[in-house]
Chain A
Amino acid sequence: MQTKNIRNFSIIAHIDHGKSTLADRLIENTGTLSQREMEAQVLDSMDLERERGITIKAQTVRLNYKAKNGETYELNLIDTPGHVDFTYEVSRSLAACEGALLVVDATQGVEAQTLANVYMALEHDLEIIPVINKVDLPSADPEKVKKEIEDVIGLDASDAILASAKTGIGIEDILEAIVERIPAPHGDDDKPLKALIFDSYFDAYKGVIAHVRLMDGKMKKGTKLKMMATGKVFDVTEVGCFRPAPVEVSELASGDVGYVAGSLKNVRDVRVGDTITTEENPTPEPLPGYRGVTPMVYCGLYPVDSADYDSLKDALEKLQLNDAALVFEAETSLALGFGFRCGFLGLLHMDVIQERLEREYKLKLITTAPSVIYHVHKTDGTMIAIDNPAKLPTPQEIDFMEEPFVKATVIVPNDYVGAVMQVSQDKRGEYKSMDYLDVNRVMLTYHIPLSEIIYDYFDILKSTTRGYASLDYELADYQPAKLVKLDILLNGEPVDALSTIVFADHAAYRGRQLAAKLKEIIPKQMFEIPIQAAVGSKIIARENVRAFRKDVLAKCYGGDISRKRKLLEKQKEGKKRMKAVGSVEIPQEAFMAVLKIH
């Protein structure tokens, strides 16, 4: 394929605006997969993605399209996630493209998340094609949405494509627009190889597979390649493209998007954002790569069974391979033993990693409550960053503390402005600005502690605005705050893994709520368990889990002994999911209880 007939593009959309359905329709329309092979939302290949209806990992697919001008084009669709946690994935995908479809729901309009992604695409100099989706719905108002795109984003929407991914309206137009409006990649096959790694994953048979976008040069089986940052040299055993399953091809040339596999067994040799070149004739300059991603949320991950420590480490390494935002280091907890402190982009990211570890790696885990990174200025003049409440120095050693704040952007219908203001104020947010997007919709910005966003800000925002609010946030700065460590004692013993850092004025309330929640969660055991919440040596709340004194099964109907045994086994299995801390057995969810209180 000649470079002039290649188009590399992404789809940018707010969650639920129909990105995955549109991708499916493009795959189907170009005959990449037959109708029969189509499973709803082909690109969301993880079970988790299908269940939650979200895209987590960017996926890639090559479409061959015969345009109206008679020529055949290779369209590389690099799918992107839509959730705020996964912004960095979007940035990686965009760096491999020349253009993007901006999909906006004709019934909803521009959302906070769309804005953030469009700005990112503009930073990458991408050609943006606005697509107004779901025009088949009765409540669709394409003209209003067009105006919003022009007013809010500042894009010319006069040639926006009206489409319905569900019914197939406008799909031809979109394919034609991709060919006509998105520029062909301008690489040079004859220059030394310069390829961007934008993703990677581990295949049990082929080793590490790197997803690449070739800027210049060619890549084929048998050549010796070099990773410019890690210095790793390897022999190429296979190159290919995605249709959407990996398919081997004879070579990849400049402008192409595909994958490369080689003698790469160590996950650390392949770094997303690195540049691949040939060993023989290397390019003098690597590509700029990516801005490093900084995790914003930390939590402890511990195996329920301490024998699984090595498996957990192994699994985290494998996941980290295609998730540059996941960081982890070993840590020890008095209550939970050996585990890892892990950093994530946000709560959904944390949730997803935890679930993948449990599902794909069959690990039973205890996750501790998430924490942001606090800056603790000590009386000796030094500053330390704390991502684990248990590591907080004693109050005597602390001069003052700072916590991270974000700039939060909320878009809502104007009826809910009051609700947003109330929630934001309750969550210690500082009002910054309010702009009318049109007569009905308002964009508010707040300066607000990240810890509040992590707890329940978005949940409450959603429920008080009947789901209309959309939220985007970016780290702003660190600000001093009155913070204290809230400890939990079970049976009189402090449990380090249950400690949290909270705003001092909220401590008493949070302590009472947390103790009450733990009372619900911790099952009755053979002895009474006092639960206490404390700040320093001051007990601020107390609850009791009463002892159970009866636990018997009814009769064996018709001699069905196996059923009885299986029931006992299930109960025993349930116990295994609990962590024995001293003599108290604590279920997994207790460690996340702090998130369940409002």
Chain B
Amino acid sequence: MSYGVYIHIPFCKKKCQYCDFPSWEGKEDLMSAYTQAIVKEIEAQEPFLAKAGPASSVFIGGGTPTVIPITQLERIIDAVRENIPLDPEAEFTVEANPGTVTLEHMTALYTMGVTRLSIGAQTFENDILERIGRIHTAQDIKDAVRWARAAGFTNVSMDLMYGLPGQTMKNLVDSIGSAMDLAVTHISVYGLQVEDGTPLKAKIEAGEITLPTDEETEAMYDYVVNNLPPYGFARYEISNFARDGFESRHNLGYWSDKPYIGFGAAAHSYWGGRRTENLRTPEEYIASIERGESPARPEEPSTPEIQMAEFCFLELRTVRGIDREQFEKRFGCTVESVYQKVIDDLKLKELLTSDEKYIRLTPKGMKLGNVAFRAFLL
């Protein structure tokens, strides 16, 4: 059985304006205790994972993993290597944010067996970067990618965003051009989402910041979807594009019902059909590990209906779509026996198409993904 490993580093130098995820700035004094706790949590799972067999991917994300001292990151990676059996071909990703990395950093990560870097670029426009609260400049992005290559990385992914405050179509075209110039191998492109409780939302409501119109944002989406493939980046998931063979194995795991185990504050696990979530704040997390307790809390009990809905909307995110055979194997019934009406309706709306093996979104369906996903919620 293959599975993924996720490790969460909930620290940032500065929290971005749009971010509502479990990450905190100004908690540097917790980093060392946090590292110790993660190591302890990983060690505690050693007997269990030894039986589970090798993991096919490891992903250290955040927050900003590269904001903790490199020696601490080394301790975590060592703990992974010593306690979790890894497939020889395992993909090992670390998120690296420009402005927090150096060539030495990159070299150390490469030496420790990290195979893939994910660079949080978002855009190459300095004024927009500043507006959304990023700490880096376009030059920092370029440096980070160059240093990654110099350190030996051949698999470099980049996150970009569209629909950012003040962003124009030209800005987006330029950013994609810059990413191409840097010869990355994988690109994730996300539309900005304005989440409740974020400074961004407050500023928009106060009229201090305006976003591109829906029409402009839609044009940006279209540009991304239409223009990355000609550069050799095939779309394999709604927001993800890769050169052949560089698809993210770890993320594909999330979308294809593979189990994963998470370590660290607010990390999620999915094992044996059950979902759990670790205590959210680093303080709570550290305290529970120090007391010798498990930081994991079960999420609300899942029903077959919920499991089917999650299975479907996750697989629908991929270009391949819902695997009929896998669905039957998992739930003991055909997709149609549960979703015939939904499928017919979505086909009528030209959002869905299917063949003998798969049920997938049309290009229009990808653009209106939420409409289709909602329909699969029973």
A residues neighboring B (CB under 8 Å): 524, 526, 546, 548-562, 564-565, 568-569, 571-572, 575
Other-chain residue from A552, A560, A564 in contact with B277 (beta carbon distance below 8 A): A560
The 8 closest A-B pairs by CB, nearest first: A554-B190, A551-B370, A552-B369, A559-B268, A550-B218, A572-B374, A550-B367, A560-B268
| Cβ contacts B105-134/A at 8 Å (1 or 0 each) | 000000000000000000000000000000
Q: A526-B349, A553-B370 are in contact. Are A558 and B214 (CB under 8 A)?
A: no
- Say yes or no: B367 contacts A551, CB within 8 Å: yes
- Say yes or no: B310 contacts A565, CB within 8 Å: yes
Q: Is B33 an interface residue (CB 8 A)?
A: no
- Say yes or no: A559 contacts B193, CB within 8 Å: no
- Say yes or no: B238 contacts A552, CB within 8 Å: yes
Task: Sample 10 A-B pairs with CB under 8 A, ordered by A number.
Answer: A550-B368, A552-B221, A552-B368, A559-B4, A560-B277, A561-B275, A562-B299, A568-B370, A571-B374, A575-B374
- Say yes or no: B188 contacts A555, CB within 8 Å: yes
Other-chain residue from A548, A556, A558, A572 in contact with B267 (beta carbon distance below 8 A): A558
How far apart are A529's CB and chain B's nearest CB, in angstroms? Answer: 15
Residue of B nearest to A563 (CB): B268
Other-chain residue from B191, B270, B371 in contact with A559 (beta carbon distance below 8 A): B270
- Say yes or no: A551 contacts B254, CB within 8 Å: no
Q: A559-B262, A561-B270, A568-B313 are in contact. Are A551 and B214 (CB under 8 A)?
A: no
Q: How far is the CA of A550 from the CA of B224 in the complex (A)?
A: 13
How far apart are B111's CB and chain A's nearest CB, in angstroms? Answer: 26
Residue of A nearest to B269 (CB): A559
- Say yes or no: A550 contacts B217, CB within 8 Å: yes
Residues of A within 8 A of B269 (CB): 559
- Say yes or no: B239 contacts A554, CB within 8 Å: yes
Q: A558-B6, A559-B6, A565-B377 are in contact. Are A526 and B371 (CB under 8 A)?
A: yes
Residue of B nearest to A570 (CB): B374
Residues of B within 8 A of A571 (CB): 370, 374
How far apart are A491's CB and chain B's nearest CB, in angstroms? Answer: 17
Q: How far is the CA of A503 from the CA of B281 in the complex (A)?
A: 60
Residues of A within 8 A of B267 (CB): 558-559
Residues of A within 8 A of B313 (CB): 564-565, 568
How far apart are B277's CB and chain A's nearest CB, in angstroms? Answer: 7
Residues of B within 8 A of A548 (CB): 214, 368
Residue of B nearest to A552 (CB): B369
Q: Is B61 an interface residue (CB 8 A)?
A: yes
How far apart are A479's CB and chain B's nearest CB, in angstroms? Answer: 45
Q: State which residues 190-243 of B face A: CB under 8 Å.
A: 190-191, 193, 214-215, 217-218, 221, 238-239
- Say yes or no: B374 contacts A558, CB within 8 Å: no
| Cβ contacts B249-274/A at 8 Å (1 or 0 each) | 00100100000101000111110000
Q: A558-B6, A561-B268 are in contact. Are A549 and B21 (CB under 8 A)?
A: no
How far apart are B193's CB and chain A's nearest CB, in angstroms? Answer: 5
Residue of A nearest to B366 (CB): A552
- Say yes or no: B368 contacts A551, CB within 8 Å: yes
Residue of A nearest to B266 (CB): A558
Residues of B within 8 A of A550 (CB): 191, 214, 217-218, 221, 367-368
How far apart are A54's CB and chain B's nearest CB, in angstroms? Answer: 28
The secondary structure that dominates the B interface is mixed
How far apart are B238's CB and chain A's nearest CB, in angstroms? Answer: 6
- Say yes or no: B275 contacts A553, CB within 8 Å: no
- Say yes or no: A561 contacts B310, CB within 8 Å: yes
Q: How far is the CA of A562 from the CA of B349 in the complex (A)?
A: 27
B residues neighboring A (CB under 8 Å): 4, 6, 8, 21, 61, 188, 190-191, 193, 214-215, 217-218, 221, 238-239, 251, 254, 260, 262, 266-270, 275, 277, 299-300, 306, 309-310, 313-314, 349, 366-371, 373-374, 377
Q: How far is the CA of A314 from the CA of B310 in the complex (A)?
A: 38
How far apart are A55's CB and chain B's nearest CB, in angstroms? Answer: 33
Residue of B nearest to A560 (CB): B268
Q: How far is the CA of A108 from the CA of B216 in the complex (A)?
A: 54
How far apart are B253's CB and chain A's nearest CB, in angstroms? Answer: 8
How far apart are A406's CB and chain B's nearest CB, in angstroms? Answer: 39
Other-chain residue from B4, B21, B370 in contact with A552 (beta carbon distance below 8 A): B370
Other-chain residue from B21, B270, B349, B377 in contact with A568 (beta carbon distance below 8 A): B377
- Say yes or no: B374 contacts A565, CB within 8 Å: no
How far apart are A592's CB and chain B's nearest CB, in angstroms? Answer: 23
Residues of A within 8 A of B61 (CB): 557-558
- Say yes or no: B310 contacts A558, CB within 8 Å: no
Residues of A within 8 A of B251 (CB): 555
Residues of B within 8 A of A568 (CB): 313, 370, 373-374, 377
How far apart are B352's CB and chain A's nearest CB, in angstroms? Answer: 14
Q: Contacts A526-B368, A558-B8, A562-B277 known; list 10 others, CB within 8 Å.
A: A549-B368, A550-B218, A552-B221, A555-B188, A555-B239, A559-B262, A559-B269, A565-B310, A568-B313, A575-B374
Residues of B within 8 A of A553 (CB): 193, 369-370, 373
Residues of B within 8 A of A549 (CB): 218, 367-368
Q: How far is the CA of A480 from the CA of B376 in the complex (A)?
A: 56
Of A546, A552, A569, most buried by chain B (CB within 10 Å of CB) is A552
- Say yes or no: B268 contacts A565, CB within 8 Å: no
How far apart are A253's CB and chain B's nearest CB, in angstroms? Answer: 56
Q: How far is the CA of A569 from the CA of B303 in the complex (A)?
A: 14
Residues of B within 8 A of A564 (CB): 313
Q: A524-B214, A558-B262 are in contact. Are A551 and B371 (CB under 8 A)?
A: yes
Residues of B within 8 A of A558 (CB): 6, 8, 21, 61, 262, 266-268
How far apart are A560's CB and chain B's nearest CB, in angstroms? Answer: 5
Residues of B within 8 A of A526 (CB): 349, 368, 371
Of B214, B262, B374, most buried by chain A (CB within 10 Å of CB) is B374
How far apart are A64's CB and chain B's nearest CB, in angstroms? Answer: 50
Residue of A nearest to B23 (CB): A557
Residue of B nearest to A575 (CB): B374
Residue of B nearest to A557 (CB): B21
How far apart are A508's CB and chain B's nearest CB, in angstroms? Answer: 29
- Say yes or no: A554 contacts B218, CB within 8 Å: no
Q: How far is the CA of A551 from the CA of B266 in the complex (A)?
A: 27
Residue of B nearest to A548 (CB): B214
Other-chain residue from B215, B254, B368, B371 in contact with A561 (beta carbon distance below 8 A): B254
Residues of A within 8 A of B309 (CB): 565
Residues of B within 8 A of A559 (CB): 4, 6, 254, 260, 262, 267-270
Q: How far is the CA of A575 from the CA of B8 in the complex (A)?
A: 34
Q: How far is the CA of A420 from the CA of B193 in the complex (A)?
A: 46
Residue of A nearest to B8 (CB): A558
Residues of B within 8 A of A557 (CB): 21, 61
Residue of B nearest to A524 (CB): B214
Q: How far is the CA of A558 from the CA of B268 in the complex (A)?
A: 7
How far apart are A569's CB and chain B's nearest CB, in angstroms? Answer: 6
Residue of B nearest to A574 (CB): B374
How far apart are A554's CB and chain B's nearest CB, in angstroms? Answer: 4
How far apart are B122's CB and chain A's nearest CB, in angstroms? Answer: 12
Residues of B within 8 A of A556 (CB): 254
How far apart are B341's CB and chain A's nearest CB, in angstroms? Answer: 15
Q: How far is the CA of A306 from the CA of B144 in the complex (A)?
A: 59
Residue of B nearest to A566 (CB): B300
Other-chain residue from B4, B306, B369, B377 in contact with A551 (beta carbon distance below 8 A): B369
- Say yes or no: B314 contacts A561, CB within 8 Å: yes
Q: How far is the CA of A551 from the CA of B218 in the complex (A)?
A: 9
Residue of A nearest to B299 (CB): A562
Q: How far is the CA of A571 from the CA of B377 in the complex (A)?
A: 11
Residues of A within 8 A of B4 (CB): 559
Residues of A within 8 A of B377 (CB): 565, 568-569, 572
Residues of A within 8 A of B300 (CB): 562
Q: How far is the CA of A196 from the CA of B21 in the complex (A)?
A: 61
Residues of A within 8 A of B368 (CB): 526, 548-552
Other-chain residue from A552, A555, A575 in contact with B367 (beta carbon distance below 8 A): A552
Q: How far is the CA of A568 from the CA of B374 in the complex (A)?
A: 6
How far apart are B29's CB and chain A's nearest CB, in angstroms? Answer: 23
Q: A552-B238, A554-B239, A555-B239 are in contact. Are A562 and B371 (CB under 8 A)?
A: no
How far apart are B135's CB and chain A's nearest CB, in angstroms? Answer: 19
